[in-house]
Structure 1
Amino acid sequence: MGMSGTEQTHHHSLTDLCAEGKQLYAAALRAGRIAKREIETAPCLVDFALLHPDPDDPDWLRPVAPSIALAQRLHPIEREIQEQRRQSVDLTTSFDEFMAISAQAPPSIHAITVLEGSHRINAALDVATTELKKEVLTVQPGGGRPEHLLSQAITRSKPLIDRGISMRTLYQHTVRYSQNTFAYIDHLAGAKMEIRTMEQLIERLIICDDVVAFIPARDDDGAALELRHPGLVSYLTKIFDHLWQRATPLVQPLSAAPDAEGITEVQRSIAKLLVEGLVDEAIARRLGMNVRTCRAHIAKLAAALGSGSRAQLGFLIAQSGILGERD
């Protein structure tokens, strides 16, 4: 029987030898041999070549010395390691001339890098977070994020937390109604993390230590720009700080009660965008909510203002003065 048969029978490798195999191999080493019938529960010992037939008695097996068995398995691994090292040296040598050119190149050449595909984007983010020393700033537009994305965020954030990195994140108000978001916050409890929310946000943004920033390159999130020009990163940091000052800390509740006209803050925000001429889908996207919720708010707004049609609603919003009452 070959090794593949063993794996199918025992579902383990030599590095994870089964309990029966360990016990019987140890017994064979102590006694110098073991009867074939005794290893019926652990045929992996023969499959892994830890036992071989006794030339003097076909009913018995003799153990292979552990030092010999280990050497037989270490040899191909060590040979592979040596080959990997050789390739590393060759690869480094092949890039020497390019590194020399890069060292003399003007900084603008490295200022903007286009990252195509999630694999390259994630790899660049991993490098940036590894280099982090102080703080990471993030803008996450939209509503509550799916659980699998928050799990990825926890995996990426945990090493930063362990290193004492500060994190400031801007979400939209709609995440306040997301259980996944609060579960994510609870998981990272005690971290140097602050979260604030706003009605509307700019596109997704990540800034690491005033050194590198990442912004979308397309609407489909399939490409990103890695920005390392100090001027660009500084400008984006100022934009983030401006938004941060206007945002509401997550621990501070928002007023959801309607005003004297029966208009809530969410409906007031929708009214502003309706007057701008945005359709339901665009309004929902700007405010980080689904279209059904958006339309339900529009219906309540229409009822509060006594509107019988979409065209009349826009007129009544402008006439009511509700958009000029608050900043």
Structure 2
Amino acid sequence: MSSTTYTSRCLSDTTELARAAARLLAADDGDVTCYWNYTSLDDPLIEVLNSSGAHLWDRDGRIRIVYPTAALSEPALGDHIAWQQGHGAEVGHSIRLPPGAMLLTAHGALVTSRPQAGCCYEEVEDAATLHALRALVRLVAQYTEPLPARGETAPTETERQLLDMLMEGLTDRAVARRLGLSERTVRRLVAQLMERLGAASRFEAGARAVERGWIE
């Protein structure tokens, strides 16, 4: 009778968690999915998500983050969400999240099921467990709603500057250099602005932004 070995490693502190996240996100492609369900507003995973050192924002592929619906009224969490959306993440909410939190990539996962503060994460890399976690993520997606569309909400200062540069005809590299962002982040932000503005080209996005009074 064959047996299956499940490999995981307990992460003892925030430093270990950040290092593990950096390893999982080292590849610059592939989707990343994360959910957070009231472990703590001081949860180290939230800080890791906002850390440029984790290589999360300089990659190809979708970045999807899901929060519990009831938490959207938390002012502190709102700041994190605004920052993540500003860097191109697809942020949603759900009333049916598992307890704890998880970061899942093509190469592994960081997961905890403890609804409490502190670093209680496990790093998971074995194929069988990752297959089960991906199935869990697909189930979560069925009960996830995107955050309300920003619609006519005024763009952020970074978005205004980006739109100005689109009108100037600057390349992604030039825009990235001026804004201090990666080229991939710039491309992701441009795609989101084009979608919001219903524009088929970058120049059209700039022109429509002028029509709406977003830029002069």
TM-score normalised to the size of structure 2?
Answer: 0.55
Aligned counterpart for 1:224 among listed residues 118, 121, 141: 121
Q: Which residue of 2 aligns with 1:244?
A: 141
Query: Greater CA radius of gyration, 1 or 2?
Result: 1
Q: 1:121 to 1:148 in 2, by over 3 A?
A: closer
Greater helix fraction, Structure 1 or Structure 2: 1
Letter in 1 for 2:140: L
Task: Report sequence identity in percent.
Answer: 14
Q: 1:152 to 1:236 in 2, by over 3 A?
A: closer
* Cα distance change, pair 164–157 in 1 and its aligned pair in 2 (3 A): farther
Q: Which runs of 5+ in 1 are unaligned?
A: 1-106, 254-327
Q: Helix, strand or coil: the match of 2:50?
A: helix
SS in 2 for 1:174: helix
- How far apart, CA to CA, are the structure 2 residues paired with 1:200 and 1:116? 28
Distance 1:167 1:132 in 2: 12
Distance 1:215 1:149, change over 3 A: closer
TM-score, structure 1 normalization:
0.38
CA contact (8 A) 2:22 2:54 kept: no
Deviations 1:206-225 (A, max 9, x none): 1112x201222766543322
CA distance in 2: counterparts of 1:232 and 1:126, whole angstroms: 20
| Residue 141 (structure 1) aligned with residue 37 (structure 2) | yes
Q: Which residue is 1:308 aligned to?
A: none
Note the C-alpha offset of 1:143: 8.2
Give secondary structure in 2 for the equivalent of 1:161: coil
Counterpart of 2:58 (choices 149, 154, 162) is 162
What count of residue pairs does the alignment treat as equivalent? Answer: 145
Hey, what's the Cα distance between the residues in 2 that align with 1:219 and 1:189?
Answer: 25
Deviation of 1:166 (Å): 2.0
What is the rounded CA distance, in whole Å, between the counterparts of 1:169 and 1:160 in structure 2?
12
AA paired with 2:36?
A: Q
Q: Specify the alignment match of 2:16 in structure 1.
A: 120
Match 2:76 to one of 162, 174, 180: 180
Structure 2 alignment gaps of length 5 or more: 151-216
Check whether the contact 2:68–2:96 (CA below 8 A) recurs between aligned residues: yes
> Is contact 1:134-1:165 (8 Å) kept?
yes
CA distance in 2, matches of 1:204, 1:121: 13
| Letter of the structure 2 residue corresponding to residue 247 of structure 1 | T
Tell me the secondary structure at the aligned position of residue 138 of structure 1: strand
Q: Distance in 2 between the 1:144 and 1:117 partners? A: 15
- In structure 2, relative to structure 1, the CA distance for the partners of 1:157 and 1:171 (3 Å cut) is farther
Answer whether contact 1:144 1:181 (CA < 8 A) is retained.
no
> Using the alignment, how far apart are the partners of 1:148 and 1:205 within structure 2?
12
2:117 equivalent to 1:207: no
Relative distance call for 1:184 and 1:157 in structure 2 (3 A) is farther
